[in-house]
Amino acid sequence: MRLDKYLSDMNVGTRTEIKKAVRQGQVSVDGVTVKNPGLSVNETSSVFYQGKEIVYEVFSYYMLNKPAGVITATEDRYQRTVLDLLPAERRKDLSPVGRLDKDTEGLLLITNDGDLNHRLLSPKHHVDKRYYAEIEGNVNESDVRAFADGLRLDDGLLCLPACLEILKSGDISEIEVEIQEGKFHQIKRMFEAVGKRVLYLKRLSMGPLVLDPSLAPGEWRKLTPEELASLQAE
Ligand code: URA
């Protein structure tokens, strides 16, 4: 591929900025300063941009703390999507892994690695997802048992056993719940099945991937190599 494409794929700047930097001698390939943005390079080339090594990564993996009010989709004519939260040059062929409702916050993995996306969502795989929620109504031990036994939803669907932990019980209860599947509106429908309503919902983890507490809603970062390795081992 062309050198300017290599650098632009790795998001070091816009194509115009990259071309300028190359022409000004700020880029080296395999130890030699180059001035031609169209130079042919490949994924194994050693490329330095403004003194920093830029390793070519075929796939990108981002952790987003999804805020309420944006939809989990790649594009929409009317509503803001989770991809609108990433800078335009990073979006390319990215997709969210699974879906959070518009009013749900928290951990969302975004990647262009279709195989990983598929594997993590496969119903055979049972990747655990943990949520924090605020519930209208007094969540009690009989709810904990009902979740553990496997709830039946309004459409007759029988849920796999889920682990419900009560953090605070009252008119508005606080809980954490871990489910092994990801059916449409699952947590909200599980609480409806026990006569209660979800007021606030946030995903805390997905398999081994835990939401980084330093990310404010709407913020994102790349996965660390350790996080990626743990997901790939799932
Ligand atoms: N369950 C829900 O009800 N909504 C979500 O966004 C995620 C899980």
Q: Provide the 10 A C-beta neighbour count for residue 50.
A: 11
Residues 114 and 214 in one domain: yes
Is 101 catalytic? The answer is yes
Take atom 7 of ligand 1 and give the residue whose Cα is closest.
Answer: 100
Q: Kindly state the average pLDDT of the residues 1-6.
A: 94
* Centre of ligand 1 from the C-alpha of residue 120, in Å: 16
Residues 118 and 214 in one domain: yes
pLDDT bucket at 14, cuts 50 / 70 / 90: confident
For 186-233, what is each residue's pLDDT tens digit?
999 999 999 999 999 999 999 999 999 999 999 999 999 999 999 999
H or E stretch covering 202: strand 197-206
Residues 167 and 100 in one domain: no
Instruction: Give strand pairing partners of 71.
Output: 81
* Centre of ligand 1 from the C-alpha of residue 39, in Å: 48
Residues 69 and 115 in one domain: yes
Residue 129 alpha carbon, nearest atom of ligand 1: 8
Q: The domain that contains 9 carries what CATH number?
A: 3.10.290.10
* Centre of ligand 1 from the C-alpha of residue 215, in Å: 20
Find out whether the beta carbon of 72 lies less than 6 Å from any atom of ligand 1: no
For 74-89, what is each residue's pLDDT tens digit?
999 999 999 999 987 6
Residues 157 and 185 in one domain: yes
Q: The domain that contains 85 carries what CATH number?
A: 3.30.70.580
Residues 86 and 202 in one domain: no
Would strands 163-168 and 172-179 be described as parallel, antiparallel, or unpaired?
antiparallel
The structural domain count of the chain equals 3
Q: What local confidence, expressed as pLDDT, does residue 88 receive? A: 75
Residues 35 and 138 in one domain: no
Amino acid at 36: N
Q: Which residue in 41, 23, 21 sits closest to 31, CA to CA?
A: 41
Total-model pTM: 0.88
pLDDT bucket at 101, cuts 50 / 70 / 90: very high
Domain that holds residue 82: 61-123+209-232
Quote the CA–CA distance of 231 and 234 in Å, as a whole number.
5
Give whole-number Cα distances, 74 to 11, 81, 101, 167, in Å.
Answer: 19, 6, 14, 35
- Non-local CB neighbours of 62 within 8 Å, separated by 6+ positions: 86, 90, 94, 109, 110, 111, 220, 221, 222, 223
Quote the CA–CA distance of 88 and 75 in Å, as a whole number.
12
Candidate of 71, 121, 131 to mutate for ligand 1, largest count of ligand atoms within 8 Å of Cβ: 131
Find out whether the beta carbon of 178 lies less than 6 Å from any atom of ligand 1: no
Q: Which residue in 222, 184, 179, 175 sits closest to 100, CA to CA?
A: 184
- Non-local CB neighbours of 110 within 8 Å, separated by 6+ positions: 61, 62, 63, 64, 82, 83, 86, 94, 95, 96, 97, 220
Identified catalytic residue from 101, 149, 155, 212: 101
Give the whole-number percent of the chain exceeding pLDDT 70: 99
Give the whole-number percent of the chain exceeding pLDDT 90: 89
- Cβ atoms of 177 and 80 closer than 8 Å: no
Residues 161 and 137 in one domain: yes
Query: Of 55-59, 141-145, 163-167, 184-188, which range is least confident?
Result: 55-59
Strand runs labelled E in 54-187: 61-66, 95-96, 105-111, 129-136, 163-168, 172-179
Quote the CA–CA distance of 117 and 127 in Å, as a whole number.
12
Residues 142 and 188 in one domain: yes
Find out whether the beta carbon of 135 lies less than 6 Å from any atom of ligand 1: no
* Centre of ligand 1 from the C-alpha of residue 37, in Å: 46
Residues 112 and 220 in one domain: yes
Residues 76 and 92 in one domain: yes
Take atom 4 of ligand 1 and give the residue whose Cα is closest.
Answer: 185
Mean pLDDT computed over every residue of the chain: 95
